[in-house]
Chains A and B, each alone.
Chain A
């Protein structure tokens, strides 16, 4: 009898144990699922915020914003922005940014890309946790230092100083004179976390050499070109040659489309300027049309040769527009 009673009590305990385990298992599964859903939802919310920033900042020129977001790691690739497994693909995205944006703050800057008429807005996004070290004694070095937002963690030196590691997730060197010796304090950092861009040129055009840390020295990855301060800033914010080239290709595609419209508009202005004082305007439009056609042909692809053509034509076109203004003609752009 005692054995049977003991069996009854034991069975009761086993039953309670099994039921309890089932309940705990059920709630554990629910909590884990909910955690995953919540994480994905947060990432999607941040991505939507980034999307809204891309739209909002993309339409307002010459603005700088500091935007708070939930702490996240945003990966920026050619035409792709992703946070973990949540991503958004764009066909013609113009966004100059480091490949990884970390932290709970974003700094955005927007500048108009004009050659000399506005073709598109260039959007730059970075993190205040990323360290920018600008080294140079030229006018363009000072100009770039002034053009970069004060909210950034940037340091400006006239000559190479002794660099200390201040535990930033990435360091970007912007060099205007010569390539500097690799700082000893940064030798232990992962290779992908330390990059440099060396600028050769002026405000108008030049080349940008993309370097990356390799062990305890710099290795030249590739060389690209820039046209205007806006694309030079693009080369500074993008930490890889591929990202910069991809964005500039998209900029040129847009320039090509906008130029087509200006070509047709100028033709129409020429057709209308055939009488009286308008004849003088006709000459300006004719000259402008030559320059616009030259920009149209050169904007078919992003290359150093095309940049030279566009820079020269943009100057001439600006001159023709000035002439049109002096003689009270309708402006070309």
Chain B
């Protein structure tokens, strides 16, 4: 009777040890999965940050392209567009038109600050569009050398189109 009870206790303990072993294995297994998952999330998060940066750069290039090809400021000769050329007479009035219709142009130019700076002859500055945000996470500045054409005097000057784009 005493031996039977002893055998029973030994088997129970062996069974308990086996279950304990299984639980320990599962515990380690899940710990490994959690560590793996955390690593995966970290990698994904880093990739998202890189992608976000690339997207911001792409959008910045897109905005710069749109500004460069705005019929509101571009030079033309019998409706033939002259690349990298800004018409000063158009520019004077485009400033006020774009300020009056800021919401319309926001769809095209988003949060950005667009300036044309004349370098030669003389110095002058036009702020075409300005809509900024305080809580931006990235900022890109694009400088494009442009020819500034004055149709009244039919003379070309030289300037820089500065496009500052901000992204949240």
Contact = CB atoms under 8 A, between A and B. Distances in A.
The 9 closest A-B pairs by CB, nearest first: A55-B62, A264-B93, A91-B107, A59-B69, A272-B152, A265-B89, A330-B151, A118-B71, A59-B65
Interface in B13-44: 15, 18-19, 22, 26, 29, 33
B145 to A, nearest CB: 18
Contacts of B15: 8, 11-12
A91 B108 CA distance: 9
Given A26-B33, A257-B104, A15 B22 contact: yes
A330 B90 contact: no
A331 B107 contact: no
Interface of A: 1, 4-5, 8, 11-12, 15-16, 19, 23, 26, 48, 51-52, 55-56, 58-59, 61, 90-92, 114, 116-121, 253, 257-258, 260-262, 264-265, 268-269, 272, 321, 325, 330-331, 333
23 contacts: A1-B4, A1-B8, A12-B22, A19-B26, A48-B55, A58-B66, A59-B68, A59-B69, A61-B81, A90-B107, A116-B79, A117-B76, A117-B79, A118-B79, A121-B69, A268-B89, A268-B152, A269-B151, A331-B76, A331-B77, A331-B78, A331-B151, A333-B78
Contacts of A268: 89, 92, 152
Contacts of A23: 29
A58 B58 CA distance: 15
Interface string B106-146: 11100000000000000000000000000000000000000
B152 A261 contact: no
B89 to A, nearest CB: 5
Interface residues of B, number: 40
Contacts of A58: 66
Given A51-B62, A261-B97, 8 more contacts: A56-B65, A59-B69, A92-B104, A116-B79, A119-B71, A261-B72, A268-B89, A268-B92
B56 to A, nearest CB: 12
Contacts of B103: 91
Nearest to A265: B89
Contacts of B62: 51-52, 55-56
Given A52-B58, A55-B62, A330-B152, A120 B71 contact: yes
